[in-house]
Amino acid sequence: MKRGSIALARSLCYEIAGPTDEDDDITGSDYGSVDIAEILSAEVERLRAAICATLDANGHLADGEVCTLLALKVALRESGAPWAGDELHNAEVSRSAPLLAQVGSTDGLERG
């Protein structure tokens, strides 16, 4: 199956959510595009939450850039979903706080 294809997305939905009904085959062909978007988005958020919980519970192992949980730390930073103990993200947020206080909101601002 080609990476990025709708067939792959349907197959993943079948694995995550199961068949749409008893006649659905293992291809997930009964999933529509809205179903696919909702199921895959929910799965991404579920996985992010699990990774954040793991890092929060095991912060003593994630204390530096060379650590047991480095791959999880990097994945969360790259996805824009830092965990509570992410010093790098928290430092960036702290530096931008005065600017945010001045402008009031980042709604509608493009990121560079």
Number of domains composing the chain:
1
Q: Which domain holds residue 82?
A: 48-103
Q: Is residue 36 part of a domain?
A: no
pTM summary value: 0.64
61-94 pLDDT per residue, tens:
766 666 778 888 888 888 888 778 777 656 654 5
Q: Is residue 54 part of a domain?
A: yes
Q: Is residue 16 part of a domain?
A: no
Domain assignment of residue 30, yes or no? no
Q: Is residue 14 part of a domain?
A: no
In a domain, 93, yes or no: yes
Query: Could you report the per-residue pLDDT of 25-56, keeping only the tens digit for each?
Result: 778 888 999 999 999 999 999 999 999 888 88
Instruction: Please indicate, yes or no, if residue 99 is contained in any of the structural domains.
Output: yes
Show the 3-state SS of the chain: CCCCCHHHHHHHHHHHHCCCCCCCCCCCCCCCHHHHHHHHHHHHHHHHHHHHHHHHHCHHHCCCCCCCCHHHHHHHHHHCCCCCCCHHHHHHHHHHHHHHHHHCCCCCCCCC
Residue 20 lies in a domain: no
